[in-house]
């Protein structure tokens, strides 16, 4: 049985993770990432990896799922940034 903390965690996870979907879709559709900071995404990815590890150690599914999915989205955005800028000849 889930307790109130689990429900709160899942709601928070849905909100914070889904916040990255519009950015990822925008980057994918427009093929431009000029206004996205590589440094911010590198630091975010490191933090997400630690949060994911923390969730795994605790066995806390809201933390694991939220940070795992967000990590994939953030990595996708950063990879697209590097690829699109490389193909357009601009440098970050």
Give the residue extent of every domain in the chain: 4-88
pLDDT of residue 18: 92
* Whether CATH 1.20.1280.290 fits 4-88: yes
- Which DSSP helix (H) or strand (E) runs through 80? helix 61-88
Separation in Å, CA 56 to CA 45, 48, 51, 74, 87: 16, 12, 9, 19, 37
Cα Dmax for the chain: 54
Distances, alpha carbon 69 to alpha carbons 4, 23, 58, in Å: 22, 14, 18
**pTM recorded for the entire structure:** 0.80
Q: In the chain, where do the E strands start and end? A: none
Q: How far apart are alpha carbons 49 and 30 in whole angstroms?
A: 28
Tens-digit pLDDT string for the chain (92 aa) = 578 988 888 898 899 889 989 988 998 899 888 888 999 999 999 999 999 999 999 998 889 999 999 999 999 999 999 998 877 665 54
């Amino acid at each position: 049985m889930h307790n109130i903390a689990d429900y709160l965690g899942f709601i928070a996870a849905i909100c914070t993770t889904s916040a990255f979907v519009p950015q990822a879709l925008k980057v994918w559709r427009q093929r431009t990432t000029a206004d996205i900071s590589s440094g911010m995404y590198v630091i975010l990815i490191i933090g997400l990896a630690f949060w994911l590890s923390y969730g795994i150690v605790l066995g806390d599914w809201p933390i694991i799922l939220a940070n795992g999915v967000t990590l994939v989205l953030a990595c996708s955005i950063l990879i697209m940034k590097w690829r699109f800028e490389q193909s357009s000849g601009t440098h970050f």
